[in-house]
Amino acid sequence: MKKIDKKSDRSGEMLYGAHAIIEMLKAGRRKLISIYTTKPYPKAWTRVLPYLPKSVPNIQYVSKDVLDRMTAGAEHMGVIAWVSPYKFSSKMFAPVKYPFILLLDSIQDVRNLGAILRSAYCTGVTGVVLCKTNSAQLTPAAIKAAAGLSEHLDIYMAASMKQAVLEARQAGYQLYMAVLNGENAMTVTYQKPACLVIGNEATGILPSVRKEGMLITLPQRNGEISYNASVAAGILLFVLSQKLA
């Protein structure tokens, strides 16, 4: 087995799991620096292999223990890739090109973030706004939870939630805030360009932000319960995608 070439990987980011790596390769937005797997090959390798470029720069064969250490014990399916950094959008989206976007306010769990990004892609969202502070980031775990579909999304990283909302309103977006007590999301008439705002798993959307848009609510059994943030996001994204079509 080859010795790990750490020097060649210093400028890159790690992705793990077959789906994340395949979608990265399909999206074609990042450069593959090196890829790690085991011998004998895991089943995931046969899934990744057809998508690899004809000339893979650096294939490293290591033990499963090495892969486990690289991912700090996270499930990697026997395949890890080092790739060039994700390129975030440099400014707020323009409604002409991005008529339906998603803004996330202080989502903390990377698995929730990944699940929401997966739903965003599936429902036709064209841009996602995250915040640099008080928020889960686009980590390898988040990308794996998104089944790699985040690789196809354009993502803008705002300095803060306040800035994100201000920029979205200035760009002309209609903001729809997912809260517990608002208009029935199933009966609202939505308008483009639309921006769906999903809040923190525990506290929801910041009070100072709620006033900047229409408050919408998913019907639920009683007021003492609520949907998981990623589940609520998935349902609302589907509802808006159908009503905005």
At 55, the pLDDT band (50, 70, 90 cuts) reads: confident
Query: Which residue has tokens 């201000």?
Result: 166
pLDDT of residue 154: 98
* Integer Cα distance of 89 and 127 in angstroms: 9
Average pLDDT over residues 55-83: 92
Domains, the chain, ranges and CATH? 6-83 (3.30.1330.30), 100-244 (3.40.1280.10)
Would you give the DSSP letter of residue 193? S
Query: Which residue has tokens 């686009």?
Result: 138
- pLDDT tens per residue across span 125-173: 989 999 998 899 999 999 999 999 999 999 999 999 999 999 999 999 9
What separation in angstroms does the CA of 163 have from each of 63, 86, 192, 229?
46, 22, 21, 22
Average pLDDT over residues 104-133: 95
What separation in angstroms does the CA of 243 have from each of 23, 214, 237?
28, 16, 10
- pLDDT tens per residue across span 63-74: 999 999 999 999
Angle at 198 between CA 193 and CA 202, to 5 degrees: 170
**Does residue 209 register a pLDDT over 80?**
yes
Average pLDDT over residues 184-190: 96
To the question of pTM greater than 0.75 for the whole model, the response is: yes
Question: Is residue 101 a contact partner of residue 173, using CB atoms and an 8 Å limit?
Answer: yes
Buried b (16+ CB within 10 A) or exposed e, 132-164: eeebbebebbbbbbbbbbbbbbbbbbbeebeeb
Buried b (16+ CB within 10 A) or exposed e, 73-94: eeebbbbbbbbeebeeeeebbe
- Least confident range from 24-33, 215-224, 227-236: namely 215-224
At 3, the pLDDT band (50, 70, 90 cuts) reads: very low
